[in-house]
Amino acid sequence: MATPLLPNSRTEPNGSAVIRVLSYNIRSMRDDTAALARVIAACAPDLVLVQEAPRFFRWRKKLARLAAASGQVVLTGGATAAGPAILCSLRATVERTQDVLLPLTPGLHRRGLATAVVRFGGARLGVVSCHLSLQKDERHTQAGLLLDRLAGLGAEHAVAGGDLNERPDGPAFRRLAAALRDCRAAVPWGGEFTSTPADPHQRIDAVFATKGIEVLGCGVPLDQPGVTERDLRAATDHLPVLAALRIPAP
């Protein structure tokens, strides 16, 4: 049986908004950037939570080119957030953005968060893109800092997504899932595993939402029209996670 299509983005008569959120580790755009742009564009997202955005020479231009090629604009992040970034469609009205560097553990890679508050029609939404540590204890601490930052955005409804470097049974993943809704677990859609494209065998990328947001479906967009297996394999070393969410009106 064919996978049902996710709902398209729309503003509903009661003022609530249906949006699509894509989380994607793009490996610093070191692979096939044309394939990457095609995957993003085919998913028709309102928000793209990026991990491993370009961070070095001409990183802003590289990220801007990807956004333009995939029908998005750069909202925030990149090198200023140590890798996470947020892209958005023109449907979003931006209220504010902030890039956050997390405490540095000597000998480990610097991590950060790209954050924003946006509106879709009358619906207001906090947004965080993250890429957690490879080290277990630091990863767990960063999950707590992410939750603190999400709460500090001052938005009743919020989403967070990224590369957790951990499976759902890990302590950092569980910490996030205890405070937020793991969208894939709530309403499974599409594929489950995000790593690696050539041999998907683990789910280490996820989208989370606060409790008041209705999850309409979430998973790897394997059967999304316009998304091909060839492009997914060529684009980067992770598979993306696409979620359709209904954000309540105030």
Give the 3-state secondary structure percentages of the chain, helix then strand then coil, rounded to 5.
25, 35, 40
- Tens of pLDDT, residue by residue over 220-242, are 999 899 999 999 999 999 999 99
Residue at 220: amino acid letter: V
Give the number of other Cβ atoms within 10 Å of residue 56's Cβ. 8
Question: Where would I find the beta strands (DSSP E) of the chain?
Answer: 10-11, 17-25, 47-51, 73-77, 85-88, 93-101, 112-120, 123-131, 158-163, 181-182, 205-209, 214-219, 241-247
Residue at 200: amino acid letter: P
- Tens of pLDDT, residue by residue over 53-105, are 999 999 999 999 999 999 999 999 999 999 999 999 999 999 999 999 999 99
Give the number of other Cβ atoms within 10 Å of residue 201's Cβ. 9
Question: Where would I find the beta strands (DSSP E) of 60-168?
Answer: 73-77, 85-88, 93-101, 112-120, 123-131, 158-163
What pLDDT, on a 0 to 100 scale, did the predictor assign at position 2? Answer: 60
Residue with tokens 């902030």: 98
CA–CA separation, 188 and 217 (whole Å): 6
With 90 as the cut, is the pLDDT of residue 114 above it?
yes
With 70 as the cut, is the pLDDT of residue 35 above it?
yes
Angstrom distances, CA of residue 75 to CA of 49, 62, 65, 99, 102? 10, 14, 13, 11, 20
Average confidence score pLDDT of the chain: 97
Evaluate whether 91 touches 120 at the Cβ level (below 8 Å): yes
Angstrom distances, CA of residue 5 to CA of 37, 161, 218? 20, 21, 11
Give the number of other Cβ atoms within 10 Å of residue 190's Cβ. 22
Do you know the residue count of the chain?
250
CA–CA separation, 38 and 34 (whole Å): 6
**The CATH number of domain 12-247, selected from 3.10.450.50, 3.60.10.10, 3.40.50.620, 3.40.710.10:** 3.60.10.10
Q: What are phi and psi of 237, to 5 degrees?
A: -100, 10
